[in-house]
Amino acid sequence: MKFRPVKTDNNQLKVASSPFTHNQKSTSQIMLWVVLAAIPGIAAQTYFFGYGTLFQILLAIITALLAESAAIALKKQLILPYLKDNSALVTGLLLGISLPPLAPWWLIVLGTFFAVIIAKHLYGGLGQNPFNPAMIGYVVLLISFPIQMTSWMPPESLQTFTLTPWDSLVVIFTGHTPDGSTLLQLQQGIDGLSQATPLDSFKTGRLTHNIDEILQQPILQGILAGIGWQWVNVAYLVGGLIMLNRKIINWQIPTAFILSLGICALISWLFEPTRYSPPLLQLFSGATMLGAFFIATDPVSASTTPKGRLIYGAIIGGLIWIIRVYGGYPDAVAFAVLLANICVPLIDHYTQPRAYGHK
């Protein structure tokens, strides 16, 4: 067999430098996909818990963009290129989603400012922060203002009143409705509800009631879990699947997260069903699906190796179950994510793929 020599013109021979494979999606595009994927969950939250959710998100995004601009200006760099990466937009979005819809306006402003300035830019900006900025802001608010941060209203289907968008806006900025009712009075005016979320109801109910009595509470009468919260979690699950399909996030973290939490909940429930909550309640209540697909998958603070992502996700799921069952907070996604962030350098160190020929 004869091979014909290939003749090339040196002027036309172009040699490119590595890497030869590229991710076609920029940071800006990835962040925009995260925002788009969150729309089903935001719509569900607004439907079940009122228009306050939209106002909180709007306030958080505005504050995040202003804080980002201020931080970049202090560094004497061009502001617009940094705003275009949309990382501040996502930080504000996630924090706005996480707060009670009728929380006072200064709460979301303070938390978002802390998330962007302290948790992000104090470490050097995008790509340098070891912790999830939105969760840092959330935890600071939760520890500093526990009453305001746990003032969730029950789903509108269980309320004896309806708040218009204007009513919600007035409550956020003044602390009371146009007719003078405070948030506390609104909560106390709902018969048969001692706590506003399924996880709250279950955690506090265990102190004085058995499991069967707790599960009879109105807010726990959903098909999968608590009324309203189950569909919010389903909506964020749909958004997460969209991101997986578009390859915006990797499958390892949410899969390990959900399996770890589900297995812990299932084993405990099978061994002692009179003490522990059913697995579906754990999986479809609180911020489970939001945490699995939108928070734990933060590309900066999460593990970067395939095996490491599985370990990282499993740690978060296990910590959520431990804190929910034995800790002082009914939901635990933020704490679990931050604790797992601490482990990331160690996880990545021991899960780096070995180079070919390495001994």
Q: Please state the separation of Cα 96 from the chain's center in Å.
A: 10
* Residue 179 DSSP code: T
pLDDT computed for residue 193 by the predictor: 47
pLDDT tens per residue, range 234-257: 999 999 999 999 999 999 999 999
Length of the chain counted residue by residue: 359
Q: Phi-psi bin for 79: left (phi > 0), alpha (psi -120 to 50), beta?
A: alpha
* pLDDT tier, 333 (very low <50, low <70, confident <90, very high otherwise): very high
Residue 192 has pLDDT above 50, yes or no: no
Contact 273, 211 (CB under 8 A): yes
* pLDDT tier, 126 (very low <50, low <70, confident <90, very high otherwise): confident
pLDDT computed for residue 356 by the predictor: 58
Distance CA 94, CA 6 (A): 57
pTM: 0.85
Mean pLDDT across 307-313? 97
pLDDT tens per residue, range 42-73: 999 999 888 999 999 999 999 999 999 999 99
* 22 three-state secondary structure: coil
Using alpha carbons, select from 251, 312, 261 the residue that is nearest to residue 286: 261
pLDDT computed for residue 224 by the predictor: 60
What mean pLDDT value characterizes the chain? 84
Residue position matching structure tokens 């409550």: 171
Domain boundaries along the sequence of the chain: 26-153+155-192, 193-351
Pick from 27-41, 153-167, 200-214: least confident: 200-214
pLDDT tens per residue, range 142-153: 999 998 888 887
CA angle 225-291-159, nearest 5°? 40
Contact 269, 278 (CB under 8 A): yes
pLDDT computed for residue 194 by the predictor: 44
Contact 169, 175 (CB under 8 A): no
Distance CA 356, CA 359 (A): 9
Distance CA 125, CA 298 (A): 14
CA angle 255-95-144, nearest 5°? 115
